[in-house]
Chain A
Amino acid sequence: MTYPDFNQTIPIDEIGVNERVARLNSRSIKKGSKVQALKLALSMIDHTTLEGSDSPGKVRQLCKKAKQPYPAMPDLPTVAAVCVYPRLVGIAKQELKGTDINVASVATSFPSGQVPLSNRLDDTRFAVEEGADEIDMVISRGAFLNGEFSLVFDEIAAVKEACGEAHLKVILETGELQTLENVRKASDIAMHAGADFIKTSTGKVSPAATQPVTLVMLEAIRDYYYKTDKMIGMKPAGGIRTAKQAIQYLVLVKETLGAAWLNKHYFRFGASSLTNDILMQIVKQETGQYQSLNYFSND
């Protein structure tokens, strides 16, 4: 494969991006297509807990929720993955044994990545050894903003190698990248360096995922697909709390990349409170009535 010159910038018109997002948001999703979208979104969630206070008990609860989101409706899809810190991967793996729910782990000294590369690689290897199916790494934003694109590229490639069989999601932390052009450039670097997924944010920096940023990343994925025939996945993370937002994201995916990306193998939501809002909407669609949030378990 030929690698692009990452010193060249691909122009992105922010006004145009915002207009496109606004137009996509005007799609009216009703009835059957809404229920289908809600279930699809549920199946794409990386159910996440990334707190300093996370405990084995909390992770076990999280896994139970992942397996059975709403016991009153046993036919609902499970979420795609549970996302935890490396130290808790083993617990999650054990809890999710026998299911097709993956264990994802943030590694590479999440969320800042501010330790030597060797430590970040160790972090990655540890998570993989513990049984992580997917690794969510962070890029060196400082190096990126400093124009050291080769360094960023090489680090991603090194982490990819450390991942072995595990799938690699590369977090660009778009809230720190300042411009949509930088988002585009970081996406291109990550995909060429071996990312299986590109992901917007850690959730620890504001703004986290936004629709304009996601659209730019989806368009980068599309261009990469046109060029290489290879499908890269997309994961917006952070700030997506409502079912309505989730459906808007699905519309973005559907009309930018099409049907092949509308599954958990190519699209994920990184979120913690989204699950319950989606469940609430599904129950509303099935019964005609809204339930209070008290009826949905908070884990």
Chain B
Amino acid sequence: MSNTETKDVPYKPTSPNSKLDFASVWEYAPAPQDSDFAEVKEKYDLFIDGKFVKPSKGRYFKSTNPANEEVITEFAEATQKDVDKAVKAARKAFEGEWSRISAKERGKYIYRIARMIQERAREFAILESMDGGKPIRESRDVDIPLVAAYFFYYAGWADKLEYAFPGKQPEPLGVCGQIIPWNFPLLMLAWKIAPALATGNTVVLKPAETTSLTALKFAELVKDCGLPDGVVNIVTGAGQTGAEIVNHKDVDKIAFTGSTKVGKLIQSSLAGTDKKYTLELGGKGAMLIFEDAPIDQAVEGIINAIYFNQGHVCCAGSRLLVQEGIADKVIQKLKDRLATLIVGDPLDKNTDVGAINSKEQFETVNKYLELGVEEGADIYQCDCKVPDNGYFIRPTLFTNVSQSNRIVQEEIFGPVLTVQTFRTAEEGIEKTNNTPYGLANGVWTDKGSKIFKVGSKMRSGVIWANTYNKFDPTSPFGGYKESGVGREGGMHGLAAYIKN
């Protein structure tokens, strides 16, 4: 460059801790996803026996868009009478047509569901983001493609069950009550319904009360694909509706994904019954970053582990454990990376972190932020712009925390990361396992043997190496300790839906 020219260049900020500036010069214009074609009705009824029916007490509850606090639609509240009707319809279908058709035909229905999800993928993605607050980038690229993948995967098993269970005549359980959470509404539905149908069961499913929209859209799809009446029933409502399903005498199995607190209630009400159950509950995943890890990629992995889906992930990596020698470097890089996260409108294609799912959860996470500060931790948040309305929380990290802090011990279920250090592998493993949970952990190192040595000592159902939050239908998923009972996904997921 010529000398005259370099003079007007702002050469460099001089402080050695100078942060990089990611905001000025060139900003991305809004890139909203066109959502006009995604149809939302004013109100949705219950889906029982292949038909949409009004709730017996005629009560509906509102569902809001967490990104702008506007009411989107209303869902029916299913009472004991409605649940009973749904279970009866499921029982009738199970003893009737669904048991009579061949396994191959059963598989064909599931394949058809998978293909129809792909055809309507964009509509499902938009509705998922509208109702739940997750960024369209995730619902479009992660949630909905995985939903189709799970249906495809289990469709393939339908007529090959004897290969999954050699020497056994696999028999379905009957009517399965399924209760799913609000963090991955349609994906959790797929995890539940696909293996249940593949093994020949019928289902009564209750989506979470804040995110029922895509489940009801799915009910429309079930109707369109010609699945026999009563095989899939969808009842909406809050905890009471869930309890009616759990306590119904004619349900053979309960599959629940949600909080550990509710999981324990379900387990105690199922004690003494012959209902089978699987529970997929909370977690407090740790990520162990060793000095020999590829640091820039590890930082990216951390971002995916904790800020994916606003941290509303049961297997989220919410505890970062960094080896001492690289702690400062990792924290500096994390802080710079946080500055590039775009928080805001879930329907904008550039949004990285969307809205917290509900007002209730928004308050819970905020309470933990206050608690962290009270506990003496140092809070750091990106200074990104956040919309005035809606439930938004800046991606947060806490440093200067200790193992005994509540923000380290308890599941926050929000975009909040705690950072601790460790010196030896033994110390790292001990801190990893020192939690009531055991759902997922991660390890970052360039050394393959270390992955196996450390990984085999981590007490969790899932261990990711040099990555995080990767899902695949062929892989089983589930936890140890307070993270739950049973496995979903893969061949293991089939076992939960057949008689022993």
Contact = CB atoms under 8 A, between A and B. Distances in A.
B332 A33 contact: no
B1 A134 contact: yes
A26 B23 contact: no
Given A16-B301, A167-B1, A265-B1, A27 B12 contact: no
Contacts, number: 109
A263 B5 CA distance: 12
Q: Is the interface of B mostly helix, strand, loop or mixed?
A: loop
Interface in A132-180: 133-134, 165, 167
Contacts of A204: none
B297 A250 contact: no
B68 interface: no
B340 A20 contact: no
B29 to A, nearest CB: 4
A259 B21 contact: yes
B26 A259 contact: yes
From A33, A134, A165, residue with most partner B Cβ within 10 Å: A33
Interface string B21-65: 111111111110000000000000000000000000000000000
B16 A15 contact: no
A173 B305 CA distance: 35
B292 interface: yes
Contact of A33 (B28, B301, B467): B28
A226 B28 contact: no
Contacts of B28: 27-30, 33
A260 B10 contact: yes
Interface size class of A (residues with CB under 8 A): 35 or more
A11 B292 contact: yes
Contacts of A13: 294, 297, 446, 466
B213 to A, nearest CB: 24
B10 to A, nearest CB: 7
A26 B301 contact: no
Contacts of A100: 2, 4-5
A133 B2 contact: yes
Interface in B424-452: 446
A193 B380 CA distance: 36
B300 interface: yes
Contact of A219 (B12, B21, B296): B296
A111 B54 CA distance: 76
Contacts of A30: 28-31
Contacts of A231: 11-12
Interface in A183-229: 219, 222, 225-226, 229
B350 interface: yes
Interface string A103-135: 000000000000000000000000000000110
Contacts of B298: 16
B23 A259 contact: yes
Contacts of B24: 259
Nearest to A37: B26
B429 to A, nearest CB: 21
A102 interface: yes
Interface string B348-370: 01100000000000000000000
Nearest to B20: A258
A32 B21 CA distance: 21
Nearest to B4: A100
29 contacts: A10-B294, A13-B294, A15-B466, A15-B467, A16-B294, A17-B296, A20-B296, A20-B297, A27-B350, A28-B31, A30-B30, A33-B27, A33-B28, A40-B26, A102-B2, A165-B3, A219-B296, A225-B20, A229-B12, A229-B13, A229-B18, A258-B22, A259-B22, A259-B23, A259-B25, A260-B12, A263-B9, A263-B25, A265-B9
Interface of A: 10-13, 15-17, 19-20, 26-34, 36-37, 40, 100, 102, 133-134, 165, 167, 219, 222, 225-226, 229-231, 250, 254-255, 257-260, 262-263, 265
Given A13-B466, A258-B21, 4 more contacts: A26-B137, A29-B28, A100-B4, A133-B1
